[in-house]
A and B are shown apart, each in its own frame.
Chain A
Amino acid sequence: MSLLLIVLLPLFGAVLPALMIRSGRNDCTIATAAINLLSLGLLLTHVPAVLRGEVVTASWAWLPTLGLNVQFFVDGLGLLFAGMILSIGLLVVVYARFYLGKGEPMGNFFTYLLLFQGAMVGIVLSNNLLLMLIFWELTSLSSFLLIGFWSHTVAGRQGARMALTITGCGGLSLIAGAMLIGQLVGSYEITEILEQGDLIKNSSMYPWILLLVLGGCFTKSAQFPFQFWLPHAMAAPTPVSAYLHSATMVKAGIFLMARLWPVLSGTDSWFYIVATTGLVTMLLGAIVALFQDDLKGLLAYSTISHLGLMTMLLGFATDMAVVACVFHIINHATFKAALFMNAGIIDHEVGSRDLNRLGGLLTLMPTTATIAIVAAASMGGLPPLNGFLSKEMMLEEAAHTSWASQAWVVPLLVTIASVFSFAYSLRYVVHTFFGKVRKDYPKPPHDPPAGLWMPPTVLLILVITIGIFPEALVGNIVRSATSSVTIGQVPEFHLKLWHGMSPAVLMSIVAVSVGALLIAMYKRVRGVWERRSRPSGKAIFDTGIRRLVWLTHNFNDRLHNGSLQRYLFVVITGASFLALLAYVRVGHVPGTREMLPVGAATLAAWALLMAACVIAVVNHRHRLIALITVNVIGLISSLAFVYLSAPDLALTQISVEVVTLILMLLALYFLPDESLIEATKSHRLRDGVLAIVVGLGVGGLAWATMTRDFTTLSDFYIAESIPGGGGANVVNVIIVDFRGFDTFGEIMVLGIAGLTIYALLEGMIHGRMGKKLAQWKPGPPKSPERHPMMMVVATRAMLPFAVMVSVYIFLRGHSLPGGGFIAALIVSIALIMQYMASGFKWAAEQVRFNYHVLLGGGALIAAAIGISSMVMDDAFLTSGYDHFHVPLIGDVELATAMVFDAGVFLTVVGGVMLALANLSNLGRCAAVEEKAGDSSEFNPAMYHPKREGE
């Protein structure tokens, strides 16, 4: 359980800062830090077990049929990463509190940060590949929010977009790779997959798996040639860079390579792809870093270089290289996070991080300078700091690795990379803090408040102490993490500062002396660099994106020309074609089921329907006529329902018919009465032929269906209706009980439709549209009286009766035709009649409830009753019922399904009334002028008994 909490605490706790920000920035920070600390504390409880070599697991079934389960485990590697993520996260939270300005939305920032943290911890603790992929994508998304936190800057938006595109594409590749692994192994459980190394490596799919998985790792960890997004992600606030781009997100790729190391490494292709990519990235990153003028840019390329180093070590695929890699992961996280924070301090207190505008800050910012010097010395690989140790181990490994039987390649290139690595570390310090004190700093430089220098100092203490007492401090965790990468094969090693003279020491000496030389003659070196043309990853990326956009535009414009008529024609033709295909392949002959006899009345109704259809088509340009004929057809179909043993349908259809008619009339008030003839004869002929073909097809299908015998599920529903649902009306029991979940979804749809209509109409009343509406003149009045007296009186008298009928229909619904839907429609009709007869203003004044509340309340009731059954350990919406004896009334049966039905009732009334009332309101807004004219006359709609008496 605590494993799950480690992940879930930050994910769900992410809500907290967004809420806590209201009570101030400090409270918000404390809340964030508390969540972080709690999660870290939970993790630490597992330390003893993991160091003993145990693997703590926890799992819950989620979607077992897909192989997706909530499975977590913590081993040495997971512990190392999770510990880094949570502890550096804590420092970053403190740092960010003092870094972000007063006006910046700190609540949002911490929310994103915790989301990211949860996702990151999720990646490293997942014991299910699919679950890990979910967290993987979550880190891409949350890092997008974090990088683009300053969304007002172009660089912020572009950087965030680019990072998301690259890491997102990598994520897709990784998903494909993970699917292949899952298919091959037959399980997505990581501990199981790790045992199947031989199976995967010997499989014919191995090259694909390798490429796809590495595609995900290399993009995430900014390996060449995907490295270019990382420098642009530096547009993020510095705490983000310190967190994401030193310790966590960019290391996710490294983590995954380490995690899958047992099953993917050890082959030639692994060595040549991974080690080479790492080597190239390490070299290029180090060279480019030297020529960055932006402090964060320098650190970004340095990070790329160090990530390359770790990738290369994993690529070597020897146990000792893994030790070096794991050790360097720790060391890099400490010194790089400290340096990012340091760059942030300089930016914050001097107002610039451009090396051309800095220099001479040593005496002005002594604390900051100390942090920078120590951290940069570790980054450059100077003893006795931790960066030196792991770098020596790396050089040692590189020294006896031959590449394509050439023993000199790797050592030479690694030495060159180290030269540049030392050079840029030196430059970071020298060009910022040494040299003459300038007069033109953007802001007067001074050391920052403790909140900013404390977090990097904590890291520095680690940098120094790990450097001096490596074995005591991190020996065990390195051993434990290594053993989870190599599955138990930990080489004998002892972390210590001095190993005696070795090739590695010589390489380090070369690196330091040549690196120092490069800085001494930096101007000349820079000149050489500037004269060379360099391909820009961003330019290539931008061009690629532009081309892609252009292509899709072109393609889309041709396919989607914006004509609904054309779309409909294509869709209907396509559907007909598919239906035809099925017809030809299967064949369709009518069955031999006995037909029902036909009476004269039936025949007459049928003839009326056919005639109405013809009239509707012929007269469709006269809209009122078309509307009336369509309604005639609706009425006949409700009669058909009555005749064919479907009383519930008939009731629903007829009440919907009334509501629809009112709605259509209201809409017609605003729309033109007639349509012009627009289509050419051939066009109409084409549409006609298509319509007839589809009609014949659907009719034929109906005919064939009805004449065949069939089996149905309904025997179950009929048998179980009373014992299981407590109602005799099977249709209603199905709706509110057996298939209540469907109904739940449907009332949600109706509610959403009502809200959308409300939004659409509200938008018409205000602003530009409102002015247009006020100037709009309706056609000539259809009736001299706006509010006919008879109608006003009749509708008001009818209202209570209508409500009574509705309640009756509702209550009997479970056992006789009726129910929430029908009752709701009846009430809606009665209500809308008030609007029609007496006008919106009067009606709106009388209504003492809000339709939004009705709609939302109904949906909540339906949901609550559904969930209440889950509390009783039943499935969602399981119904319970019982009989009660009520004095005077007698035996009453109450079912929870009726409460659900009440929810349906409220939602439907709310949704329907939101649509109707607001549409009638539109008419009022349009007819403002007209109303002013007839105010002198007696307006029955304005009659109000109470007011009259006053």
Chain B
Amino acid sequence: MELLVATAIAMMTASGIYLMLRARTYTVVLGLTLLTYAINLFVFCTGRLKTNRPAIIVDGQTDYTDPLPQALVLTAIVISFGMTALLLVLAVRSYFESDGDHVDLVGPEEVVARKR
């Protein structure tokens, strides 16, 4: 299980980073979302993996999963939503302001010029 989670984290991180390095705003936001998943999962994993032991106190039970990383990740999920939303709206606004959705706010000519 741990191996699967680790590879999933690796895969999501790599895909996220690759998408973040693209030139269009929307793709960057998608990449960031992927990276967020990966990092949230990573932080969650620092509490180690455990099945069927949610941290809800039941009389007589002593074995629980680690609740602290979960609490951290829970707020992180909500915060990252706020960040994604802000970035998306910035993307929409900058698209309207500059007639293009290039992350560096450059037009098509400049993109071509830069490539040379």
Binding site for B on A (CB under 8 A): 562-565, 568-569, 572, 593, 595-598, 602-603, 606, 609-610, 613-614, 616-617, 620-621, 623, 626-627, 630, 633-634, 637, 640-641, 643-649, 652-653, 656, 659-660, 663-664, 667-668, 670-672, 675, 678-680, 687-688, 690-692, 694-696, 698-703, 705-707, 710, 712-714, 717-718, 721-722, 728-731, 734-735, 739, 742-743, 746, 749-750, 753-754, 756-757, 760-761, 763-764, 769, 772-773, 776, 815-817, 821, 825, 908, 911-912, 915, 919, 922
A698 pairs with B42, CB closer than 8 A: yes
Contacts of A671 in B (CB 8 A): 25-26, 91-92, 95, 101
| Known contacts A695-B13, A698-B42, A721-B57: A595-B2 contact under CB 8 Å | yes
A700-B79 in contact (CB<8A): no
Could you tell me if A690 and B21 are in contact, using CB atoms closer than 8 angstroms? yes
Report which of A563, A667, A714, A912 forms a contact with B89, defined as CB distance below 8 A.
Answer: A667
* Contact pick for A702, options B5, B15, B82, B84, CB 8 Å: B5
Complexed CA–CA distance, A634 and B27 (Å): 16
Of the residues B10, B34, B82, B85, contact of A696 by C-beta under 8 Å: B10
Contact at A633–B12, with CB atoms within 8 Å? yes
Residues of A within 8 A of B9 (CB): 698-699, 702
Shortest CB distance B43–A (Å): 10
- Compute how far the CA of A721 lies from the CA of B54 in the bound complex, rounded to whole angstroms: 14
> Given contacts A645-B52, A698-B38, A712-B66, are A691 and B86 in contact (CB under 8 A)?
no
Residues of B within 8 A of A640 (CB): 5, 8, 41
Enumerate 24 A-B pairs (CB-CB under 8 Å) in ascending A order.
A562-B104, A595-B3, A596-B50, A623-B27, A637-B40, A640-B41, A644-B49, A645-B52, A646-B65, A652-B74, A652-B77, A663-B84, A664-B88, A678-B23, A679-B22, A691-B17, A694-B17, A698-B38, A698-B42, A702-B9, A710-B46, A710-B48, A712-B47, A915-B89
Chain A residues closer than 8 Å to B75, beta-carbon distance: 735, 742-743, 746, 821
* Residues of the A chain whose Cβ atoms lie less than 8 Å from the Cβ of B71: 731, 734-735, 739
B4 touches A602 (CB 8 A): yes
Q: Which residues of B contact A694 (CB under 8 A)?
A: 13-14, 17
Q: Are B2 and A703 in contact (CB under 8 A)?
A: yes
Contact yes or no, B21 A718, CB < 8 A: no
For the complex formed, measure the closest distance between the CB of B94 and the CB atoms of chain A, giving whole angstroms: 10
Q: How far is the CA of A756 from the CA of B83 in the complex (A)?
A: 11
In the complex, which residues of chain A have a beta carbon less than 8 angstroms from the beta carbon of B4?
598, 602-603, 606
Within 8 Å of chain A (Cβ to Cβ): is B113?
A: no
With beta carbons under 8 angstroms apart, the residue of A568, A596, A606, A714 that contacts B51 is A596
Q: How far is the CA of A701 from the CA of B41 in the complex (A)?
A: 12
Contacts of B93 in A (CB 8 A): 760-761, 763-764
Residue from B58, B82, B84 whose CB has the most chain A CB atoms within 10 Å:
B82
Do B55 and A730 have beta carbons less than 8 Å apart?
Answer: yes
New A-B contacts (13) at CB < 8 Å, excluding given A613-B15, A730-B55, A815-B56: A606-B7, A609-B8, A613-B14, A623-B30, A637-B40, A646-B70, A663-B88, A679-B23, A691-B14, A706-B5, A710-B46, A730-B56, A816-B56
Q: Nearest Cβ distance between residue B30 and chain A, in whole angstroms?
A: 5
Q: What DSSP secondary structure best describes chain B's contact surface?
A: helix
Assembled-state Cα–Cα distance A634/B79 (Å): 15
The 6 closest A-B pairs by CB, nearest first: A699-B10, A695-B14, A596-B1, A753-B82, A703-B6, A734-B71
Contact of A565 with B8 in the complex, beta carbons under 8 Å: no
Which residue of the partner chain A has the closest CB to B15?
Answer: A613
- Complex contacts, A614 vs chain B, CB 8 Å: 15
Given contacts A595-B3, A915-B85, contact A667 B12 (CB under 8 A): no
Contact in complex: A700, B52 (CB < 8 Å): no
Q: How far apart sit A760 and B95, CA to CA, in the bound complex (Å)?
A: 12
Which of A564, A606, A731 is B8 in contact with, Cβ under 8 Å? A606
Q: CA A659 – CA B24 in complex, angstroms?
A: 22
- Say how far B115's CB is from chain A's closest CB, in angstroms: 6
Question: Complex: how many Å from CA A761 to CA B45?
Answer: 38
Contact assessment for A714 and B68 in the assembled complex, using a CB-CB cutoff below 8 Å = yes
Q: Shortest beta-carbon distance, B62 to chain A, in Å?
A: 9
In Å, the complex CA distance between A668 and B91 comes to: 10
- In the complex the two chains form, is A617's CB within 8 Å of B86's CB? no
CB–CB B17/A690 < 8 A:
yes
Closest chain B CB from A622 CB (angstroms): 11
Q: Contact at A564–B44, with CB atoms within 8 Å? A: no
How far apart are the CA atoms of A307 and B104 in the complex, in Å? 54
A698 lies within 8 A of B10 (CB): yes
A649 to B44, CA, bound (A): 9
**How many inter-chain residue pairs (CB < 8 Å) link A and B?**
311
Which residues from chain A contact B89 at a C-beta distance below 8 Å?
Answer: 667, 757, 760-761, 915, 919
Knowing A633-B34, A656-B81, A687-B21, the reply to whether A757 touches B96 (Cβ < 8 A) is no
B96 touches which of A670, A692, A815 (Cβ 8 Å)? A670
The answer on a CB contact under 8 Å between B55 and A731 is yes
The complex places the Cα of A773 from the Cα of B14 at a distance, in Å, of: 37
Distance, CA A714 to CA B48, complexed state (A): 12
**Least Cβ–Cβ distance between A117 and chain B, in angstroms:** 41
Q: Contact at B78–A821, with CB atoms within 8 Å?
A: yes
B23 lies within 8 A of A565 (CB): yes
Residues of A within 8 A of B34 (CB): 613, 616, 630, 633
Give Cα A729 to B42, complex, Å.
22
Q: A563 contacts B104, CB within 8 Å?
A: yes
In contact, A617 and B15 (Cβ under 8 angstroms): yes
Nearest residue in A to B102 (C-beta to C-beta)? A678
Which A residues are CB-close (under 8 A) to B8?
A: 606, 609-610, 640
- Interface residue from B1, B38, B46 paired with A602 (Cβ < 8 Å): B1
Whole-angstrom CA separation of A731 from B70 in the bound complex: 7
Report the bound CA distance from A721 to B68 in whole Å: 12
The answer to whether A821 and B1 touch across the interface, beta carbons within 8 angstroms, is no
Across the two chains, which residue of chain A brings its CB closest to B54?
A645
What's the nearest-Cβ distance from chain A to residue B72, in Å? Answer: 8
Q: Are B2 and A596 interface neighbours, CB within 8 A?
A: yes
* A-chain residues with CB within 8 Å of residue B45 when the two chains form the complex: 702, 705-706
Contact A598 B21 (CB under 8 A): no
A699 & B7 in contact (Cβ 8 Å cutoff) = yes
Q: Give A594 Cβ to nearest chain B Cβ, in Å.
A: 9
Beta-carbon contact of B46 and A757 below 8 Å: no
* Smallest CB separation, A623 vs chain B (Å): 6
Q: Knowing A593-B48, A610-B11, A620-B30 touch, does A649 contact B96 (C-beta < 8 A)?
A: no
Query: Which residues in A have their C-beta under 8 angstroms from that of B21?
Result: 565, 568-569, 572, 687, 690-691
What's the minimum C-beta distance from A610 to chain B, rounded to whole angstroms? 5
B85 nearest in chain A by CB position: A915
| Known interface pairs A644-B65, A653-B77; A706-B2 also in contact (CB < 8 Å) | yes
Interface centre among B1, B4, B29, B71 (most CB of A within 10 A): B71
Chain A contacts for B14, CB-based, 8 A:
613, 691-692, 694-696
Chain A nearest CB, measured from B15 CB (Å): 4
B15 pairs with A565, CB closer than 8 A: no
Determine if B78 and A652 form an interchain contact, defined as CB atoms under 8 angstroms apart.
yes
A731: chain B residues at CB < 8 Å are 55, 67, 70-71, 74
